[in-house]
Amino acid sequence: MTNLDREEFMIETNRLILREFNEIDLDELYTLVCQNDFMLTVSKKEDLKRYIKYLKEKQNQFNPDDTRFILGIFVKDKPEFVGWSAILPNTKFESTQRERFIVISRDQRNKGYVTEAEMGTYDYMFTKTNHHEIVARVYFSNPYYKLVTDIMKKTGYVPMLPKYTSNTKRCNYFILTRERYMSKR
């Protein structure tokens, strides 16, 4: 395990930069979190600040066998905050699997940012770490269920059977393997 200068850690795509959150991002992140179709509920900005601090402490070491990160998504030419992206462990899965989260601001959807951020993240995960599988879940209650499911399939995910229940909410889990992703690149 080696220390990673998290200020320097970023994933770059054609139009986007995925980088660690800074204090200056807090207002824009809080605005995104307050959108009513966002899955994380934070009532006060100070709670969000503590949550981000906690996450940063958890990701301050790089280990290719235990990769975890939460990054802000920014448009390169603006630079405008448009969402966040995360790869985190989930105790429901194998230790080699990571769960994928991505959220794009309501006014930034339908611009291809989700797909582009996903592809940059997968390139990183499957070439720089020892993880061979990424898992994502899509809740049936998500108003964008069909759109998100289409993006999952487009980037190479396949549904995991059977359908699982999580926190009393029904959802589908999808899995993307290193082999499948690399063959579609």
pLDDT tens-place string over residues 25-40: 778 877 777 775 555 5
Instruction: Report residue 63 as tokens.
Output: 């280990």
What is the C-alpha to C-alpha distance for residues 86 and 52, in angstroms, rounded to an integer?
12
Contact criterion met (CB below 8 Å) for 17 and 76: yes
pLDDT at 143: 75
Instruction: Report residue 88 as tokens.
Output: 């985190």
What is the C-alpha to C-alpha distance for residues 180 and 185, in angstroms, rounded to an integer?
9
Dihedrals phi, psi of 2, to nearest 5 degrees: -125, 155
For the stretch 46-84, pLDDT in tens is 887 887 777 667 665 556 677 878 888 999 988 788 988
Distance of CA 73 to the CA centre of its chain: 10
For the stretch 3-16, pLDDT in tens is 334 456 789 999 99
Pick from 135, 40, 29, 35: nearest CA to 83? 29
pLDDT at 8: 60
Pick from 125, 11, 119, 15: nearest CA to 72? 11
pLDDT at 85: 86
Contact criterion met (CB below 8 Å) for 32 and 105: yes
Task: State mean pLDDT over 166-173.
Answer: 70
Pick from 119, 172, 115: nearest CA to 146? 172
pLDDT at 148: 83
Using DSSP's 3-state secondary structure scheme, residue 129 falls into coil
CATH architecture of 2-184: 3-Layer(aba) Sandwich (3.40)
For the stretch 87-144, pLDDT in tens is 888 777 777 788 888 888 888 888 999 889 989 999 999 998 888 999 888 877 777 7
pLDDT at 5: 40
Strand-pair category, 69-75 with 2-3: unpaired
All structural domains of the chain with their residue ranges: 2-184
State the alpha helices, DSSP H only, in the chain. 26-33, 45-58, 113-128, 145-154, 178-184
pLDDT at 1: 29
